[in-house]
Amino acid sequence: EDKVVQSPLSLVVHEGDTVTLNCSYEVTNFRSLLWYKQEKKAPTFLFMLTSSGIEKKSGRLSSILDKKELSSILNITATQTGDSAIYLCAVGLNYGGATNKLIFGTGTLLAVQP
Amino acid sequence: DARVTQTPRHKVTEMGQEVTMRCQPILGHNTVFWYRQTMMQGLELLAYFRNRAPLDDSGMPKDRFSAEMPDATLATLKIQPSEPRDSAVYFCASGAPTGWHTDTQYFGPGTRLTVL
């Protein structure tokens, strides 16, 4: 059975801290790994990773994929209270064709305290 | 700006009633996904359409749930009869047919369903 596991389940940090969120997967036909941020509404897209070792960066957020270790990390530097959210990791499976289904992890709940 | 829309945003109903949720995907997107999110289970894929054809509805309880795409601008998810265990947030997401971000799905705001 295809599986995506995220750790930690939850995390409390103080503003200014750096955090690392983990995502590991066991799937057949891996195609891509995506990170989403979910505040009190819909998940919003952060990154999509398909190649090992290439860092994607957006402001204080960055992510990298390790296909050998079947995992990815999401780093957030200089955290702010606005970073408080659930961070979801999802893996896209290659069944052929465009826009295939995603398998989501249960998420990491990040709380940033002032 | 282009976004997925869903109606209603909130629905409270009594057990046994029919519930219909609607989704308008982003114009030009040809794939539509229905998810259910609960605290216990996280995000679960219920059904998945490409070019209006159902590709995978294995996550959906078939006896009471049905999903359709009557046209390219409308997807529906129906529950009949509803049960308290169906209480959850239901998200619709859509994806573009081609391009390097083909796996990226864009989520609507969700319908928060409460079945009493």
Output the CA angle A67-A1-A93, nearest 5 degrees: 50
Q: Which residues of B touch A102 (CB under 8 A)?
A: 33, 45, 103, 105
pLDDT of residue B98: 59
pLDDT of residue A44: 94
Shortest CA gap B76–chain A (Å): 18
pLDDT of residue A31: 87
pLDDT mean across residues, chain A: 92
SS (H, E, C) A9-38: CEEEEECCCCEEEEEEEECCCEEEEEEEEE
Please name the residue of chain A whose CA is at the shortest distance from the CA of residue B6: A42
pLDDT (mean) for A98-113: 86
Residue B87 has pLDDT above 80, yes or no: yes
Residue A102 has pLDDT above 70, yes or no: yes
pLDDT (mean) for A86-110: 84
pLDDT of residue A97: 57
pLDDT of residue A28: 85
pLDDT of residue A40: 81
CB proximity B95 to A under 8 Å:
yes
Residue B67 has pLDDT above 90, yes or no: yes
pLDDT digits (tens, 9 = 90+) for B13-29: 999 999 999 999 999 89
From A93-102, B10-19, B22-31, B64-73, the region with the lowest mean pLDDT? A93-102
Q: How many CB atoms lie within 10 A of CB B9?
A: 11
Residue A63 has pLDDT above 90, yes or no: yes
Q: What is the DSSP letter of A81?
A: G
Across the interface, of B31, B104, B109, the residue whose CB is closest to A45 is: B104
Cβ contact A102:B103 at 8 Å: yes
Widest Cα–Cα separation across chain A: 46
Residue B88 has pLDDT above 60, yes or no: yes
Read off the tokens for A60. 């204080």
Q: Write the single-letter amino acid at B54.
A: P
**What share of chain B in percent tops pLDDT 90?**
68
pLDDT band at B99 (very low <50, low <70, confident <90, very high): low
Dist CA B36 CA A73 (whole Å): 25
Q: How many CB atoms lie within 10 A of CB A63?
A: 24
Q: Which residues of B touch A99 (CB under 8 A)?
A: 30-31, 50, 95-97, 102-103, 105
pLDDT of residue B30: 87
pLDDT mean across residues, chain B: 91
pLDDT (mean) for A11-31: 95
Q: How many CB atoms lie within 10 A of CB A12?
A: 12
Dist CA B26 CA B96 (whole Å): 8
Q: Would you call A42 and B105 a contact, using CB atoms and an 8 Å cutoff?
A: no
